[in-house]
Structure 1
Amino acid sequence: MTDQELHNLVVKLSREEFNKPFRHKAFFNPRLRTTGGRYMLRSHNIEINKKYFEQLGEQELIGIIKHELCHYHLHLGGKGYKHRDKDFRELLKEVGAPRYCSILPEEKNKKRKRKILVYQCSACKLIYERKKSINTTRYVCGKCRGKLVKIKETTIE
């Protein structure tokens, strides 16, 4: 599917499902990684992740387009266009659009590695487990203000 075919599909869905015209651009954005699509607030364009069409098919693509068109029409209409807004959730149900897109098959198979850093207070021996590293020259123990020392770093799959 080309960008022009995608644009024509968006125009068609906007007319059929929302009874409103789509007057901006819709195209595939190869840089999108973690989302199926996005609506741009300033330009009013819609960008779609092509991987969802290639791996999950046209029905998933139509669902993503409907979702982004909900953002589009509500924003231009001056109503609540964010995910948490009541207007948005009601319009999603009305047109049968998903609230979130499906997980790509390639993402399901990936094993996520998590890093855990363990710090210990040199004075009171309190243990701190963190996902992000701590600047030990700047931060101290919250209990006794003792110096923090990095004990170990582990990776969990």
Structure 2
Amino acid sequence: MENLELQVLTEKISEELFGLPFVHKAVFNPRLKTTGGRYLLKSHNIEINKRYLEQLGYEEMVGIIKHELCHYHLHLAGRGYKHRDADFRMLLKKVGAPRFCGQLPEKTAARKSGKIIVYECTACRAAYNRKRNMDISRYVCGKCRGKLKKVKEIYSSS
């Protein structure tokens, strides 16, 4: 699917479900990493993460488009368009749009099969398990303020 097809699909969903035209741009944004899509307040354009189409399928992407169109139409109408607003939640239910998008398989796989890095205080021997590296020149032991050293990395297979 290309940007032109996304534009046509977004306009079609807007007309069918909301009864209002979508007169701005809908495009794929390859820079989106942590979200399925976003509605831009200043330009009124909608950006969609193409990886959701590739990894979770067409239906998931349609749900993301519905969600972003809820932001779009409520914002243009001057009503509550934010996630916490009652207007937004009611419109989501009315059109069958998800409140949150699904988790990408690549993200869940990376989170499950991670490594644990073990740091140890050189003074009191307290151990610290971390998922991410830490700069031992900047941080000290929280118990005795001693220096930390990297002991080992544990890789989990599941």
Measured against the shorter chain, the TM-score band is 0.7 to 0.9
SS in 1 for 2:11: helix
Aligned to 1:85: 85
Shift of 1:70: 0.8
Paired residue total: 156
Q: In the aligned structure 1, how far is the partner of 2:55 from the partner of 2:119? A: 43
Q: In the aligned structure 2, how far is the partner of 1:85 from the partner of 1:135? A: 41
Could you report, residue by residue, the CA deviation over 1:97-143 in whole angstroms, capped at 9, with x for unpaired residues? 12233455x64894643121111112221111112223222222111
Aligned to 1:67: 67
Q: In the aligned structure 2, how far is the partner of 1:20 from the partner of 1:80? A: 17
Range with bigger deviation, 135-144 or 71-80: 71-80
Q: In the aligned structure 2, how far is the partner of 1:149 from the partner of 1:93? A: 52
Q: In the aligned structure 2, how far is the partner of 1:30 from the partner of 1:136? A: 35
Letter of the aligned partner of 1:74 in structure 2? L
Aligned to 2:145: 145
Q: Are residues 1:123 and 2:123 paired?
A: yes
Q: In the aligned structure 2, how far is the partner of 1:22 from the partner of 1:128? A: 52
Aligned pairs for 1:20-99 (under 5 A) are 20-53=20-53, 57-99=57-99
Q: 1:140 to 1:13 in 2, by over 3 A?
A: same
Aligned to 1:135: 135
Q: In the aligned structure 2, how far is the partner of 1:51 from the partner of 1:135? A: 33
CA RMSD of aligned residues (A): 2.8
SS in 2 for 1:64: helix
Letter of the aligned partner of 1:150 in structure 2? K
Q: 1:77 to 1:122 in 2, by over 3 A?
A: same
Q: 1:55 to 1:153 in 2, by over 3 A?
A: closer
Over the matched positions of the two proteins, sequence identity in percent amounts to 63
Q: In the aligned structure 1, how far is the partner of 2:144 from the partner of 2:128? A: 13
Range with bigger deviation, 126-135 or 65-74: 126-135
- Unmatched tracts of structure 2, length 5 or more: none
Q: In the aligned structure 2, how far is the partner of 1:63 from the partner of 1:101? A: 8
Tell me the TM-score normalised to structure 1 length.
0.78
Q: In the aligned structure 1, how far is the partner of 2:123 from the partner of 2:49? A: 52
Q: In the aligned structure 1, how far is the partner of 2:6 from the partner of 2:140? A: 55
